[in-house]
Structure 1
């Protein structure tokens, strides 16, 4: 059980429904994909999900939390500690909500979101996920979702092309791993497993890649991107903009706005609005 993530996703679901019901005029239609029954099906589903997000077949899935919001999945990240679940998701009457444990490293946070996107697109109503990516048997549903997540973040054609290019440049295995992990914003364990399942490396090289750690020197010398996606606390932009709209239109008070923002903002952070007469207090929605 994970009471912390249970409480958070229930609260986030209520808040998202409150905000979007008052601000979203044209909600994107949820697209339900066929549930994959094999690893190959999971690969196909990931390719279809990338199309829905608007990604080219070989393009890295960067800014994933922004992209999935276009499909109606609102993603939050809160630091819940190492002992909490990795992520959770819930379907709403329209759209859905995902919670990612912000205490995970960035690559694991992104993989967790990719996994929850699978739950969302396959219409799983409510899920709490622990130790994402540790499932080994492709016959298990959660393992197929892990495969979906890896394929979403590390598309086969793009990864093969980039690996070939780095080999042609004469990059050694460590440099290759560092550049690929940075370019696709994944952790080394996810990269190693993806390369193995695509039969691009053997288990020995995979073990080496899992041991690689990117240093500050690597970041400078190789001009690497330092990803920060879903760094806690993270609230989805459309949700925050909706709250600001409600506040500017005097639908919610400053106190209610900061409450909806999970107290990640103070009242001083809110935009200035014209002073309302006292009689307007009854217009606020509690």
Structure 2
């Protein structure tokens, strides 16, 4: 790197990563054995950084080295403003999500470039999007093209991948973030929160892809940012639990037990199920009392016969992506350690089979 712009990029990436880690310039300098003024010069792009210092910076900031060398994709910058020294913990959590998102994008691109992963083109909805009803129609359309109908989505990870969005479930703080970089769409969902909330977050980020936003299409430009988010939320709710799933049950026959059954089988949060029940005409003033009582885990498990219902419940990667990692490993495109790293906790080194040395011979 010899161009001034390159060092400016490194400096800004160091600054953003440092703020995301909640460190002052002095605290980062202390970890590296550098004076605060040296950190300030690195962040301003004045001081160059050698390879060893890059490694130490990346380790101290808990980010991949590539993250310090490449500019943030524009779409990530548009999701939130750049951090300032006095930003809140919420902003720092958002920054950690964006760092994980950029790293995840590089993982997906590595497998695409190696020819191990076949790109799934992102699905886009071309219909009208002026109201929440339109957003719900888009969700029903997406369910239809994937042949799901009104049934529960078995695994949202696979559903998103088939829609062209590669999802990583990670232990970073926050909720979720997504981006489209050229022809690649990725999202990160935090493991924090209950399973229903994680599924809602994944469906929400898929909505950003399928419906677009103010940066990729004129999504309800007459609405405010919060108004556009309401459209995305309506899409996510209908995607996870279609109103049609409530059938012909009227308000007079709706019960809390039936609501719990739907919540359990569709694996949604109780609040999302209640919103959809209102759309279906299930809830009125007489049902308010029982609807506010959130079901216990025992009630949810009893509703599904105590059968495990895993989805987005651990650090996970999409199934097609997982196969691509193993294909790249078998073809000796990546090392054992990199395969484990790319699978984000799915396996350990001991889980990999022994390599067939005859396959690697020239």
| TM-based fold match above 0.5 | yes
Separation in 2 of the partners of 1:223 and 1:278? Answer: 49
Distance 2:359 2:120 in 1: 37
Q: Which secondary structure state, in structure 2, belongs to the residue aligned with residue 181 of structure 1?
A: helix
State how far apart, in whole Å, the 1-side matches of 2:177 and 2:155 are: 19
Deviation string, structure 1 residues 51-79 (Cα, Å, up to 9, x no partner): 232212x2222312112211221111112
Tell me, yes or no, if the aligned pair for 1:118 and 1:145 is still in contact at 8 Å: yes
Partner SS for 1:96: strand
2:96 corresponds to which residue?
Answer: 4
Gaps of 5+ in 1: 128-136, 281-286
- Contact 2:104–2:186 (8 Å) recurs in 1: yes
Work out whether 1:145 is the aligned partner of 2:228.
no
Compared CA separation, residues 120 and 27, structure 1 to 2 (3 A) = same
Distance 1:175 1:41 in 2: 30
CA offsets per residue over residues 67-120 of structure 1, 9 Å max, x none? 221122111111234xx2x11111132231111111121111111111111111
Match of 1:158 in 2: 245
TM-score normalised by structure 2 residue count: 0.64
Matches within 5 A, 1:74-93: 74-81=166-173, 84=174, 86-93=175-182
Report if aligned partners of 1:178, 1:214 keep a CA contact under 8 Å in 2.
no
Shift of 1:3: 1.8
Q: 2:192 aligns with which of 100, 103, 119?
A: 103
Of stretches 258-267 and 58-67 in structure 1, the one that deviates more from structure 2 is 258-267
Determine which structure has more spread, i.e. the larger CA radius of gyration. 2
For structure 2, the residue ranges without an aligned partner over 5 or more in a row are 1-90, 217-223
Contact 1:72–1:94 (CA under 8 A) maintained in structure 2: no
1:234 paired to 2:316: yes
Decide which of 285, 297, 305 is 1:223's aligned counterpart. Answer: 305
Partner of 1:115: 204
Per the TM alignment, residue 50 of structure 1 is displaced from its structure 2 partner at its CA by: 1.0
Q: Do the aligned partners of 1:63 and 1:229 also contact (CA within 8 Å) in 2?
A: yes
Residues in 2 aligned to 1:91 and 1:176: alpha-carbon distance in whole angstroms: 39
1:46 aligns with 2:133: no
In the alignment, which of 181, 193, 206 is matched to residue 263 of structure 2?
A: 181
Match of 2:106 among 8, 14, 18: 14
* Residues 30/228 of structure 1: CA separation in 2 closer, same or farther (3 Å cut): same
Q: Is the 8 A contact 1:65 1:75 kept in 2?
A: yes
Structure 2 CA distance for partners of 1:25 and 1:62, relative to 1, 3 Å = closer
Q: How has the CA–CA distance of structure 1 residues 268 and 173 changed in structure 2, closer, same or farther, with 3 Å as cutoff? A: same
**TM-aligned CA distance change 1:181 to 1:225, over 3 Å:** farther
Question: Alpha carbon RMSD of aligned pairs, Å?
Answer: 3.1
Count of residue pairs brought into register by the alignment: 262
* Cα distance in 2 for residues equivalent to 1:113 and 1:89: 9
The answer to whether the 8 A contact 2:264-2:304 is kept is no
The alignment partner of 2:247 has SS state of helix
Q: Is the 8 A contact 2:264 2:301 kept in 1?
A: no
